[in-house]
Structure 1
Amino acid sequence: MKLIIGGAFQGKKEYAKQQFSLQEDQMRDGKEADFEELFRVPCLYHFHEWIQKGLKLGWDFDGITERLLQENPELILISNELGYGVVPMEAFDRTYRETTGRICTKIAAESQMVIRVVCGMGMVIKNA
């Protein structure tokens, strides 16, 4: 697995397309993807929004990292970093931010590569 993180509008998706020779039809928007699509697509962007949707729909995220490693080990995930700035006032927003951070932390630990993109430039954080 590969995890690409960074702030909003920093060029993460375009970086992934160039770096890993991805075509648009190989990429799925997390805002639109259902739970099972995560285990089939080559690349999912807006992973943080996939998690947000899942929280609203009551998806069970337990064991997600292990399942990804078994069923879709070549997956490229692209997610916004959400843990910076003001702590949200709404309880759901705090839960969403914390859940996204915890899931991404587990995925990063198991990923072969983690890249942070800022201003369209990737910085490799991990390359196992």
Structure 2
Amino acid sequence: MKMIIGGAFQGKTLLANKIYPEIVWVNGGDADWEMIASAQGILSFHEFIRKEMQTGNDVSELAERLIQVNPQVVLVSNEVGYGIVPIDAFDRAYREAVGRVCTKLAAYSTQVTRVVCGIGTVIKDA
């Protein structure tokens, strides 16, 4: 597994397409579990988490499930834990869930790249 993370509108998708031009990407906001489980690459993975939570699905074991069924996937996700803490309870829970899921996935990943202003910096290369 490999991850590309960073803030919103920082150039993650552009960098992902440059590094992995051969990958067929799915959009997390539009994908169901079957698509996620078989994808080569997932853009906006954080949106998949949001969609799952909005439908009432438990995401506490999402990282473990994904590692088990699709350990070679390349994930692109926003970092949503910076800035002002949201007032809305769902938004706070979503923010925490993305952080927890992505932390587990980053620990498992062989490479994690953080993107700021379109520049990717490898922060883990195991």
TM-score range, shorter chain: over 0.9
Is the counterpart of residue 37 in structure 1 residue 35 in structure 2?
Answer: yes
Shift of 1:66: 2.7
Q: TM-score, normalised by structure 2?
A: 0.93
Please, which runs of 5 or more residues in structure 1 have no aligned partner? none
Contact 2:60 2:101 survives alignment (8 Å): no
Instruction: Answer whether contact 1:39 1:68 (CA < 8 A) is retained.
Output: yes
> Which amino acid is 1:20 matched to?
Y
SS of 2:81 mapped into structure 1:
coil
Residues 63, 102 of structure 2: 8 Å contact kept: no
1:117 aligned partner, one-letter code: V
1: CA distance, partners of 2:22 / 2:56: 31
Look up the SS of the partner of 1:115 in the other structure: strand
Aligned equivalent of 2:118: 120
Q: Relative to 1, partners in 2 of residues 1:62 and 1:91: Cα closer, same or farther, differing over 3 Å?
A: closer
| Paired AA for residue 127 in structure 1 | D
**TM-aligned CA deviation for residue 53 of structure 1:** 0.5
- What is the rounded CA distance, in whole Å, between the counterparts of 1:103 and 1:93 in structure 2? 15
**Candidates 54, 57, 60, aligned match of 1:59:** 57
Query: Residue type matched to 1:89 in 2?
Result: I
Q: Is the 8 A contact 2:67 2:105 kept in 1?
A: no
1:44-123 aligned at under 5 Å gives the runs: 44-123=42-121
TM-score normalised by L of structure 1? 0.92
1:100-128 CA-partner distances (Å, limit 9, x unpaired): 00000000000111100111111001011
**Structure 1 residue 58: Cα displacement:** 1.7
Pair 1:16–1:71, CA change in 2 (3 A): same
Structure 2: stretches of 5+ with no match in the other structure: none
Aligned-pair identity in percent equals 51
Residue 4 of structure 1 pairs with residue 4 of structure 2: yes
The two structures, once aligned, show a CA RMSD in angstroms of 1.2
More off after superposition, 14-23 vs 118-127: 14-23
Partner of 1:8, secondary structure, is coil
Equivalent pair of 1:16/1:22 in contact (CA under 8 Å): no
Q: Deviations over 1:22-64 (max 9, x none)?
A: 35xx111111111221111111111111100100112232433
Write the deviation string for residues 65-105 of structure 1: whole angstroms up to 9, x where unpaired: 23322321110111111111111000000000000000000
The answer to whether the 8 Å contact 2:81/2:99 transfers is: yes
